[in-house]
A and B are shown apart, each in its own frame.
Chain A
């Protein structure tokens, strides 16, 4: 920037160059800083989806909160779902700041969720019919989340990076809680081991899908590529999936569980895991609200939003005593 010239006098191109220089130098962008409209939109898309996924993500585990099989497990899973809701709230606050200049609020986020415009993570559309599923969710879904979120700890957008720092710290406890459930079941009765294997079979493809398709080819959009350019994220979907495999496949095998993919193996030549890819047309169906539990879980939120309308009105009335 020329000395003596204010930032507002720069052309849009110059502003963009200045912005890219900043993020390439590792500087953090803050809510009131100038940012390209496209960067703002990418952040809103990513963070509102992340935030709402945390909130919708509490629902499958909530199904198991009262049923958790001991007082200790009840306490642990209650703490976990509370954390998830807290993450959702933290992230929505970040998204709300970004949306404010566009005249949008929390209400718009909720309406977009209900209408299907705002999508949530594929894993939270799935059935969780047994306690084994609660264990797999906490161990592997949270494990996958740690991998994808840790990558964004150094995100160019300061408020997101800071929120993720706190979220990741808590996710580590969740994965440990999940691992502890899994270990108890793996060392338990034949029925418990079967329940666990069934749950893994149910969740495997959803876990492959968790990281998203390998390239834009499968989805027809390039949000991941854009986000790398903007330094919102640093790795590709496939990098993350490979990291997940390297961390968890040996652990899954060491528990005596079978991965429901006969082809999966580590290829020494390419130093990559070779695996059966997910059905990405199925993935599109799921995240578009046609997964096995999509509408049931959305209905829970739609219903409560409607039932509690009078409460929101009462709070807005502010008639103090």
Chain B
């Protein structure tokens, strides 16, 4: 009982003491504190900017690795020579075709093409398949871009 009373008295005593302390305390003026803090702040990147920078670095790194790997593969398989050969052959064919160019023959070819054009147009079922394929490829491309950027 006595302890309880002492406890209540202690509470009252402290309440009155802290009331006096609070009444006597003045608000702390900023006095340039905020400016000092702002001047001392170290550089800080926002998390989104940091994430984008990280992704950019990865992207550049992977591109370099991919290009180097492709070049090494081409050398390893001896494909450079074949590509060069194909270019040369192609170039020779173009030159030969230009030399043998006949405007009358071209006109005949164009007329034939126009005549058979209706046969070349897709049927309705082919058109539906083509549309579905285009939409699917577009959706995949868009979703891949989103995954990369966010």
State yes or no: do A and B come from one complex.
no
Residues of B within 8 A of A (CB): none
Residues of A within 8 A of B (CB): none
